[in-house]
Copies of this chain bind each other. A is one copy, B any other.
Amino acid sequence: MALPLKIIPLINMQNESLLMMPGPVPMPERVRFAMARQAMNHRGAEFGQVVEETTTMLKEIFCTKNDLLTISGSGTAGMEAAISNFCQGKEIACLVNGKFGDRLYKVSQRYGNPVALTSDWGTPPLPPLEALERALEEGAEVVTLVHNETSAAILNPAEEVGRLAKKHGALFIMDGITSIGADEVYPDKWGGVDVAITGSQKCLAAPAGLAAISVSQKAWDAQCENPPFYFDLPAYKKSAAKNQTPFTPAVPLYLALREACAIALEEGMEARIARHRQMADAVRTAADVWGGLSLFAQPDALHSYSNTATAICYPEGITDADIRGKVKDLGIEVSGGQDHIKGKIFRIGSMGATGAPELLAVLAWCRVRSRQQDTPSRATESLPPARC
């Protein structure tokens, strides 16, 4: 007999959905309530301490000794700060195998001369590194890469790409928006990540609205004239020396981010990374157990499955409404496919502060829904084959 789904209490009674998406993600209570503090003077000592502590912790999370700057704006603001400060008028090789790789390419178009080295989203993975090497030999001065491409749920080979960029003296700009804080990222050890970017609402489980960006000396040496006023990174660097920001900061988001960083370091980065791997592995295993559902990403020796998001192909005849729609009615949100793969996949995020309870909830519901049709009594014995 089918479970009486409609009368099971939701995750909570406040109409707050459980977000199991590749960001934004649920926030711990400490993070949320840090924002409720009364307004403070952002030129005063107390906020200075917030900036100092947050910066110190972010450097530890980024695993870098490079300068670490924060911008009141989304991850895209961080991308644009990187491109506009270090790539104007330059030849840029953009590796693109998903929506966010494409965004770095689009931002690059406004400032330099980018060439997109493109492959299909997720599968096949990036174009062969030989293509990148050729672009570098032909004069590319900058390489951009999205480390963890959530639109395809694939982890790209940042270390190898950075090594190639370094070998040819090019700058390497890495979008680590959905890897930093949940997966292994070593800008300094890898030797070649000149600019790394993250956003607050992803692996750190803070609210959206802040970008953090690390900048190497090699990047500073390539600083361009006249970036947008709001993204003038030398002004951020100058203010950071006084634990300030050049423009009015979004204070509550800093208070939240400080808590979120503290929570990450209390957990310990090694344990945090291990937890994320375990969670992503559980999602992949579940997809298999549900009847051999295909994963969208097709890693090879250079690539891995993402450890923060999993993209699962809908079986033939199953639509977004069947899975995402029904699961949402029960108080859980998972993501669909973006752009041209909309309706073909759904994506389960397992990043940030989520753990077993949240993961089990979403896996259980997806299991129920993927084996049911519209009415609870029409359970099917096995699922049709996946269509992608």
What residues of chain A have their CB less than 8 Å away from a CB belonging to chain B? 12, 14-17, 19, 21, 23-27, 32-33, 35-42, 44, 46, 72-77, 79-80, 84, 106-107, 110, 199, 201, 207-210, 226, 228-231, 247-253, 256, 333
Contacts and interface: CB of A to CB of B under 8 A. Distances in A.
B32 A229 contact: no
A74 B248 contact: yes
A38 B21 contact: no
Given A76-B248, A248-B201, A253 B209 contact: yes
15 contacts: A12-B38, A17-B41, A21-B41, A24-B42, A26-B38, A35-B36, A44-B333, A72-B72, A74-B249, A75-B247, A75-B248, A76-B229, A207-B251, A208-B251, A209-B248
B76 A230 contact: yes
A37 B256 CA distance: 12
Contact of A228 (B75, B199, B228, B249): B228
A333 B41 CA distance: 8
A11 to B, nearest CB: 9
User: Secondary structure of the A side of the interface?
Assistant: loop
Nearest to A32: B36
Contact of A24 (B41, B73, B230): B41
Contacts of A44: 17, 333
B35 A19 contact: no
Contact of A249 (B25, B80, B209): B209
Nearest to A21: B41
Contact of A247 (B39, B76, B247): B76
Contacts of A17: 40-41, 44
Contacts of A14: 38
A287 to B, nearest CB: 22
B19 A41 contact: yes
A326 to B, nearest CB: 15
A327 to B, nearest CB: 12
A19 B36 contact: no
Contacts of A248: 23-24, 74-76, 199, 201, 208-209
A238 to B, nearest CB: 15
A371 B209 CA distance: 45
Contacts of A76: 229-230, 247-248
Contacts of A250: 72, 74, 207-210, 250, 253
B84 A228 contact: yes
A68 B365 CA distance: 40
Contacts of A73: 72-73, 77, 230, 247
A284 to B, nearest CB: 23
Contact of A16 (B37, B107, B110, B228): B37
A19 B32 contact: no
